Structure 1
Amino acid sequence: MDKENRQEIERWRQLSTAELLARATAVKVANRSDSFSFCSIINAKSGKCSEDCRYCVQSAHYQTDAPIYPLKDTAEIVAAAEAAKEAGASRFSMVTSGRGLTAAEVEAVAERFAAIARRVEIKLCGSFGILDRDALVRLKAAGMCRYHHNLETSERFFPEVTTTHTFADRIATIQAAQEAGLEVCAGGIFGLGESEDDRIEMALRLRELAVDSVPLNFLIPLPGTPLAGIEPLPIREIVRSIAIFRLLLPKVCIRLAGGRETALEDFLATAFQAGADGMMIGGYLTQRGRSVEADRKFAREMQQFWA
């Protein structure tokens, strides 16, 4: 990042919240019109994860009440994809706990992707942790078109989030997915204890990686995890960070995901004035979300706002 661009970011940070949101709205409308998209996920394999991510109830390092089960069968996953399509989602993602997939699990997941592709007209995504190019090529051949792999935070702050793998491991997986010919969905979590500088550095790295979609999650401090007692970010800080993400990433979908209801409360629309233009619907990995009907009504109203 050159000095001129750094100075521009600092100018954005000095704007009032109203001015910053107005600028972000203008950038969103200019680059993405009134676009608004939904995606949905299924927690296809849950719990007993070897990694020590300090926010996650599925980590085997912590005592939590997260569900534990192996990879769900094909029929259940196809039914979930059908339900996602019916709810209005344009994308459906399988998500599994763990550092990555074994060779046998890659084949099992590929079979499920192929079964969905035969039955449901929906774009298929996957989130399976750290994978190499060969595994990603196999999943692409089965129907997966986009791989989800968050950075979570900045490289500086990453060791405060997890120690069982590195920021470089995350970057390598994103690059392997791109080399395999896949689109990439990568973002992170706000409220882990990071600074505003960390969030900006994450946005800059995502821009450098040229990712296709950016999901933003907001920490839900869950019992049993090391971050259970952390103070939530002020709503003003959240919406300002979303606005800076939009200014730095003008052409990508910025999608609000886990924790948006509790983090933003009555200010959900403000986050979309800040430039977000997508949502995950139908619940998250271990937590329920808003009703699909409420989200669909909200999307229609936001599109009228941008028109």
Structure 2
Amino acid sequence: MNQPPDITELQALPLAELMGQALATKLARRGTSFSLCSIINAKSGRCSEDCRFCTQSAHYQTEAPVYPLLDKAQILTAAREAKKNGAGRFSLVTSGRGLASADLPQMLEIIRTIREEVGIKVCASLGILGEAELRQLKEAGVSRYHHNLETSNEFFPQVCTTHSFSDRVATIKAAQNVGLSVCSGGIFGLGESETDRLSMAMTLAECGIDSVPINVLIPLPGTPCGELPPMPIAEILRSIALYRLILPQAAIRLAAGRESALSDFLSSAFMGGADGMMIGGYLTQRGRSPEADRKFAEDIIQLWSI
């Protein structure tokens, strides 16, 4: 059995050496795999939770769109577009503490139809759910449930007070108990320390997470996090490399904020451990064009293969 890395020793390494070790680990453990996924904001706004970074929270005055669960035709169109754009997975995301029971039958029908007519792998991010609902999602065709930790157990009360870190871990465990793979990560730049980021990484490792999305805060007007300063690029790259070394078998996928936070250094993240991206936008924020992201992924794979 592989021994966990000595975190203190890794923290002491210069950035270039740390990133070199992370890339070597990525290539040794995961080869040149590069995964693309896409999401749809299937139900937006008026969320009861007070996550301080989120424009969809009903606690804050923002310009986030508000609408009920989209109809099947709209979601099928988006799923087909995601597959055409090269995404291997398509995730249905809804706002709210958890999917409303009234929406569950429609959601199950949508999932079944995507699997039958589009043929893309289906993920779901529907908030805090129990085993009964999660089992129905799996039976309908969901293969992976997405539920971010967001930050460390220690820092979580500074980010959200309407539910707890343990609530999030319990949902992850419930999903795993019914046989679902779990995608879980968080957001860098919420005001947390490196110790907090490493604490979250260790929790993800303890939970056996095999897909880790890393978002970098986009400070959005109207939210309590709207005035936070940007996270230094070197700190972002260091954290990504540490996540790779702590989670050597997991897909480390960059999501919201990667373009604005890393800018010209985006490729550096993939030379330091990351090996996946979310394409096509992030709930209420647009991303780069899928064509640009596909070309970027091809270029990175070529660099890895040299």
Give 1:5 shift.
5.3
Flag the 1:5–1:145 CA change in 2: closer, same or farther, 3 A.
closer
Determine the C-alpha separation between the residues in 2 that align with 1:167 and 1:243: 24
- Per the alignment, in what secondary structure is the counterpart of residue 224 of structure 2? coil
Give 1:103 shift.
2.0
Partner of 1:86: 84
| Corresponding letter in the other structure for 1:280 | M
Cα offsets for 1:213-246 (capped at 9, x unmatched): 0000010000000011000110000000000000
User: Does 2:266 align with 1:237?
Assistant: no
Query: What is the TM-score of this pair, normalised by structure 1?
Result: 0.97
| Corresponding letter in the other structure for 1:283 | G
Give 1:48 shift.
0.2
Match of 1:175 among 173, 176, 181: 173
| Corresponding letter in the other structure for 2:88 | S
- Per the alignment, in what secondary structure is the counterpart of residue 271 of structure 1? helix
| Corresponding letter in the other structure for 2:41 | N
| Corresponding letter in the other structure for 2:112 | A
Count of aligned pairs between the two proteins? 303
Determine the C-alpha separation between the residues in 1 that align with 2:79 and 2:225: 32
Partner of 1:219: 217
Partner of 2:159: 161
| Corresponding letter in the other structure for 2:180 | L
| Percent of paired sites with the same residue | 62
Give 1:102 shift.
2.2
Query: What is the TM-score of this pair, normalised by structure 2?
Result: 0.98
| Corresponding letter in the other structure for 1:220 | I
Partner of 1:60: 58
Give 1:273 shift.
1.0
Match of 1:107 among 94, 105, 108: 105
Give 1:70 shift.
0.1
Partner of 2:200: 202
Cα offsets for 1:33-78 (capped at 9, x unmatched): 1000100000000000000000000000000000000000000001
Gaps of 5+ in 2: none
Determine the C-alpha separation between the residues in 1 that align with 2:191 and 2:105: 38
Determine the C-alpha separation between the residues in 1 that align with 2:134 and 2:211: 18
Cα offsets for 1:4-34 (capped at 9, x unmatched): 957x111111111110010000000000110
| Corresponding letter in the other structure for 2:167 | D
| Corresponding letter in the other structure for 1:158 | F
Determine the C-alpha separation between the residues in 2 that align with 1:107 and 1:182: 19
- Per the alignment, in what secondary structure is the counterpart of residue 175 of structure 1? helix
Gaps of 5+ in 1: none
1:69-80 map, 5 Å: 69-80=67-78
| Corresponding letter in the other structure for 2:184 | A
| Corresponding letter in the other structure for 1:146 | R
1:106-125 map, 5 Å: 106-125=104-123
Partner of 1:42: 40
User: Does 2:23 align with 1:11?
Assistant: no
User: Does 2:150 align with 1:147?
Assistant: no
CA contact (8 A) 2:4 2:246 kept: no
Give 1:174 shift.
0.2
- Per the alignment, in what secondary structure is the counterpart of residue 78 of structure 1? helix
User: Does 2:279 align with 1:261?
Assistant: no
CA contact (8 A) 2:38 2:90 kept: yes
